[in-house]
Amino acid sequence: MKRIILSTESGADLPKDLVEKHQIQVVPMHVIMEGKDYLDGQLSVEEVFDFHSRTKKIPSTAATNIHEYEDLFTKIRTEYPDSIIIHIGYTSKASASFQSALIAAENFDNLFLVDTLNVTGGLGAIVMYAASLLEEEPSIDHVRLIEKIESVVPKTRLAFLPGSLDFLKAGGRVSNLAYIGGALLKIKPCIELKEGKLVSTRKYRGKMNIVAEKLLRDYLDEYDIDRKQLYLIYSIGLDESIKEQMEELAKEFGFEHVTWMQAGAMISTHAGPGGFGIAGIEK
């Protein structure tokens, strides 16, 4: 029986221990700062935030290119000659990465791609769902596995609160008027993935410890998330007490497992410092 290998982008923000445990192949996306192109993972999140502090600008980001996907798929096929590759990709609605993967895949047999229509913890949740299925059913047929992965794509929910409006403003995602009003009123927009696109759905007012709890409660009121697993996402700068508070609340809601994911440099250019997010899969 052919071995199934999973791959994804660095924008999934998967913890290293899970990547190593499940031998998930990760291809980096790009962060461009001061005219230099860095692979996501080469540049620390602290450097991104320091750059913004100095310049009031944020780095730009770029998709993984065709050549990089060809290298990834070739590497996998070299290490596992008889493998079946399932690439679980970053939403095609917010990046050109998936299109590049599609073009690269034309030159490979037994290579299948799934557009998750999700990012960061949402993408990571789908990858881990696939990895868990492989662990539980090592003999699962790749066709059946792909069907199962595709079935959870529309049921995967991601919501996050940027740490501040500064990064949204610097990236042109809010107007000056909205930024000033939001800063004065301490408003934090909730960003969700809707049909693969990042959309501001709600606004919260107050300090992060208050609004993070409101977000978690609203999220669980709206979505019937499977209580086996919840993913909590943070960007560097989120207070440890808030992390403890959110984990305790998740367990009060009956979640068996809570996994934290740290936003990498690429995702942090959008979330800013001190951001908080939630991802899970509905029943």
125 in the same domain as 201: no
pLDDT at 86 over 90: yes
Average pLDDT (134-143) is 96
pLDDT at 121: 97
Pair (12, 82) in one structural domain: yes
Residue 253: pLDDT band (50, 70, 90) is: very high
- 175 domain residue, yes or no: yes
Which domain, by its residues, includes 72?
Answer: 4-31+62-152
What CA–CA distance (Å, rounded) separates 210 from 225? 22
**Number of structural domains found in the chain:** 2
Same domain, yes or no, for 103 and 193? no
Asked whether residue 85 is assigned to any structural domain, the reply reads yes
What dihedral do alpha carbons 120, 271, 43, 231 form, nearest 10°? Answer: -30
* Range in 48-52, 53-57, 63-67, 229-233 with the lowest mean pLDDT: 53-57
pTM of the model: 0.94
End position of a domain, from candidates 106, 126, 152: 152
Q: Is 57 part of a structural domain of the chain?
A: no
- Which pLDDT belongs to residue 170? 55
Looking at residue 176, its pLDDT comes to 41
On whether both 148 and 8 belong to a single domain, the answer is yes
- Within-domain flag for 54: no
Query: In the predicted model, what is the mean pLDDT of the chain?
Result: 91
For 27-59, what is each residue's pLDDT tens digit?
999 999 999 999 999 999 999 999 988 988 888
**Once rounded to an integer, what is the mean pLDDT over residues 139-143?**
96
Is pLDDT above 50 for 174?
Answer: no
Q: What is the mean pLDDT of residues 120-131?
A: 98
53 belongs to a structural domain: no
Average pLDDT value for residue range 101-107: 97
CATH value at residue 177: 3.30.1180.10
Domain end call among 152, 171, 198 = 152
Of the residues 122, 152, 182, which one is the last residue of a structural domain?
152
Q: What is the structure's pLDDT at 178? A: 42
Question: What pLDDT shows up at residue 177?
Answer: 36
Instruction: Looking at the structure, tell me whether residues 183 and 203 fall in a common domain.
Output: yes
Does 180 fall in a domain?
A: yes
User: Which residues contact residue 25 at a Cβ distance below 8 angstroms, ignoring those fewer than 6 apart?
Assistant: 5, 6, 7, 8, 72, 75, 76
Q: Which CATH number does the domain housing residue 140 bear?
A: 3.40.50.10170
Distance, in Å, from the CA atom of 202 to the CA atom of 59, rounded to the nearest integer, reads: 26
Task: Tell me, yes or no, whether 52 lies in a domain.
Answer: no
pLDDT of residue 181: 41
